[in-house]
Structure 1
Amino acid sequence: GAEQKLNILDYLDDLHKQKGNGTIITTQSQDIRTFSPSCSRGDRTRYFLKVQDGCDYYCTYCTIPFARGRSRNGSIAEMVKQAETVAASGGKEIVLTGVNIGDFGKSTGESFFDLVKALDRVEGIERYRISSIEPNLLTDEIINYVATSRRFAPHFHIPLQSGSDEVLKLMHRRYDTALFKSKIQKIKSVMPDAFIGVDLIVGVRGETEQFFNEAVRFVYGLDISQLHVFTYSERPNTQALKIDHVVNPQEKHERCKKMLEISEKKTHEFYSSQIGKTRPVLFEHPKKGAPMHGFTDNYIRVEMPYEKNRVNTTCKILLGDFNETGDALTVTRIIE
């Protein structure tokens, strides 16, 4: 089990006793129930708090339930304690992570919404971001709460995987395009400037040209900010291997390219819509010789000349035009 990887030394003696291929099955994936909390800090100013692990969804293309086990989580009290530790160390931003974070609470009788409300009360943390959350688990009460929250950012990352209802059925996803679209519309109705990132998989088994074209039309019509596009690759022992119609590698490449072009257009349009607006920015440690950068609450990358005293501080700024490379907005002026 993945949760035992830190204890690998404990199993080495048993490995010497094995015959044949030397494989040790320590725990069947369906029996994994332990949760190992972690909160890590990368090279940026933000922290990543794992609130959940495993998944009870058996999508036809995915091996995560077999590799990571059943859905499980720590308690809200434990997560709050982790956030308080981050605040005490000077951390300002936390990203909530997990395999299926909207499923939080299954092993403790709590809920993800309860977790959001509890974390929002932790003093010292200025900003939380919710990482990938299933559309069917992103409830209206969560969206409404984020819209008025003191600390949760207007930034969502929602897996769509396909914009074709027929392909979603083949994938065994738990929603259709109508539900997905309603979630986007709900977010935008209460947070017009929210950044919305969307996961897509192209070239899955069963994705005919007709179904792909349906997906293109659907995605193009969504009021979103960015696409994260993945090219389907087959995984042993998945149910997807039983589906007819295999997409050849060249066609997968072309479909990926087409979706990425849509993504670039969506991101440029979203950035353009924010020019001239005032947003809070948390500035990060820049790389040597690079301009200072940071992200607004709604995930606009911002650049300005380096000022050491601005690192890991939040400032309200007036957003300017695109920088020279077109991947960030400039700062017209710092307001406070």
Structure 2
Amino acid sequence: MKKVAFYTLGCKLNFSETSSISRIFQERGFEKVNFEEQADIYVINTCSVTDNADKKCRKVVKEALKHSPNAFITIVGCYAQLKPQEIATIPGVDAVLGAAEKFRLVDILEDFVKKEKTQIHASAISEVNTFHNAYSFGDRTRTFLKVQDGCDYSCTFCTIPLARGKSRSHTVASVVASANEIAQSGVKEIVLTGVNLGDFGIVPGVGRQETFFDLIKQLDQEVSNIDRFRISSIEPNLLTNEIIRFVASSQKFVPHFHIPLQSGSDKILKLMRRRYLRELYAERVTAIKALMPHCCIGVDVIVGFPGETEADFLQTYTFLNELDISYLHVFPYSERQNTKAIEMPGSVPLAERNRRANMLRILSEKKKRNFYEQHVGYETTVLFEADITNGLMEGFTDNYIRVQAKYDPILVNELKKVRLTKVNAVGLMEAEEVFAEVFQH
């Protein structure tokens, strides 16, 4: 029995796909082992969102070969679709598979025997037109369920449409079936993931038949053994008032939205070819907070986009500072080949991009701490996870506050009602009640 190990770079969607690919291996008789163990085959699922995909990929390949110098190294994922020839030059890489091939890698590579040259199996992105079901399982307490893939938007900074193809989905019925399958495993929370989640409903070969709103209604009604559904990320122009009202009234969909903004300057949003302006974004935040005052709102921001002046950046900073949001994911702009932005004038020096990013990361920490402190004394439920660090375990409230507690195996994958007591020195929440001796340090 050959041993196979996996490593995932990037987003929740990649984690769901790695987990599904690992199950294909196991169904074919391979033994899955941890990445740090000796294995016959290593599968590395890559990302292309940031500019150091090459460096990260090389580093992971090197680590795999330390554990097992003669192992068969396979690279899949977004970076593999965009730059298969480049990856093929990395020492030790035996095979590179694109977006259309990654779910068939066991059939394509068969015996996983090293050849003289690196094997490349990567179709043109125009040929990527099927939807492959995927969800993570056994890796953590929450399951990431892929319900949508690809993107039809043309943001000037983004390579994802080139790496993942056109927007496509499963049907509502098939997603509900997957969620019920997951529910049988005892998982308490499902996180819905996709490239452009709100664009759910385009079935390959059929066209748009259903909407994201149709999907969340059916999941809420027809999946009985899941306590929580979480929406991973949704574009502000696709986050309708209908969806906001539904989440506010649902017992299962949690009060947590992650809404990409990218810039608080209308000038930059237009250069980015985003499908909204800042006024719409502010309206969405106001609508959420009016119905769900305790809702957690996360924001993606890019700084240093070509043409972004100091005044444009300060407009973004002020906009975010005044918004009732909970945390930021901040990305310094990075040049990506085959995008419109790389040809735009007004390049911002790297040092300046990093300075702006640091300013927003400090703002994010302040926002997050303020959000946490608003909830001290609040009674809620926490879903505890299995990871242990220095005798402590962590879990999340429904509105995404990370709670730290003394490790107790009884609490793993359990929803426990607690009272939030204080924000500790490392910025995590502490709690008490139900099992008082567990929550007191």
Q: TM-score, normalised by structure 1?
A: 0.93
Using the TM superposition, give the Cα deviation of residue 44 of structure 1 relative to its aligned residue in structure 2, in angstroms. 2.4
| Deviation by residue 1:28-61 (Cα, 9 ceiling, x = unmatched) | 3234220001010364210000000000001001
| 1:52–1:100 contact (8 Å) kept in structure 2 | yes
Aligned partners of 2:404 and 2:374: how far apart in 1?
Answer: 17
Say what the alpha-carbon RMSD is for the aligned residues. 2.0
Aligned partners of 2:424 and 2:366: how far apart in 1?
Answer: 17
| Deviation by residue 1:190-247 (Cα, 9 ceiling, x = unmatched) | 0000000000011111111111111111111110000000111101111112211000
- Residue 131 of structure 1 aligns with an amino acid whose one-letter code is S
Identical-residue share of aligned pairs (%): 50
Runs of 5+ consecutive residues of structure 2 not aligned to the other structure:
1-97, 111-117, 437-441
Runs of 5+ consecutive residues of structure 1 not aligned to the other structure:
14-20
Q: Give the SS at the match of 1:227.
A: strand
Choose the corresponding residue for 1:90, options 168, 186, 190: 186
Aligned length: 328
Who is 2:170 aligned against? Answer: 74
Matches within 5 A, 1:252-331: 252-287=353-388, 289-325=390-426, 327-331=427-431
Aligned partners of 2:271 and 2:341: how far apart in 1?
Answer: 8
Question: Is residue 2:215 matched to residue 1:119?
Answer: no
Using the TM superposition, give the Cα deviation of residue 313 of structure 1 relative to its aligned residue in structure 2, in angstroms. 1.1
Question: Is residue 2:331 matched to residue 1:230?
Answer: yes
Higher relative contact order (CA 8 A, sep 6+): 1
| 1:3–1:35 contact (8 Å) kept in structure 2 | no
Aligned partners of 2:267 and 2:401: how far apart in 1?
Answer: 34
Flag the 1:24–1:37 CA change in 2: closer, same or farther, 3 A: closer
- Residue 180 of structure 1 aligns with an amino acid whose one-letter code is Y
- Residue 102 of structure 1 aligns with an amino acid whose one-letter code is G
Using the TM superposition, give the Cα deviation of residue 25 of structure 1 relative to its aligned residue in structure 2, in angstroms. 5.5
Which has the higher mean CA deviation after the structures are superposed, 182-191 or 204-213? 204-213
Who is 2:299 aligned against? Answer: 198
- Residue 196 of structure 1 aligns with an amino acid whose one-letter code is I
| 1:3–1:36 contact (8 Å) kept in structure 2 | no
| 2:99–2:122 contact (8 Å) kept in structure 1 | no
| 1:316–1:335 contact (8 Å) kept in structure 2 | no
- Residue 109 of structure 1 aligns with an amino acid whose one-letter code is Q
Using the TM superposition, give the Cα deviation of residue 306 of structure 1 relative to its aligned residue in structure 2, in angstroms. 2.3
Using the TM superposition, give the Cα deviation of residue 305 of structure 1 relative to its aligned residue in structure 2, in angstroms. 2.0
Aligned partners of 1:292 and 1:31: how far apart in 2?
Answer: 45
| 2:99–2:128 contact (8 Å) kept in structure 1 | no
Matches within 5 A, 1:1-336: 1-8=98-105, 26=123, 28-41=124-137, 43-107=139-203, 108-121=208-221, 122-287=223-388, 289-325=390-426, 327-334=427-434
| Deviation by residue 1:101-122 (Cα, 9 ceiling, x = unmatched) | 1000022511100110111120
Flag the 1:9–1:310 CA change in 2: closer, same or farther, 3 A: closer
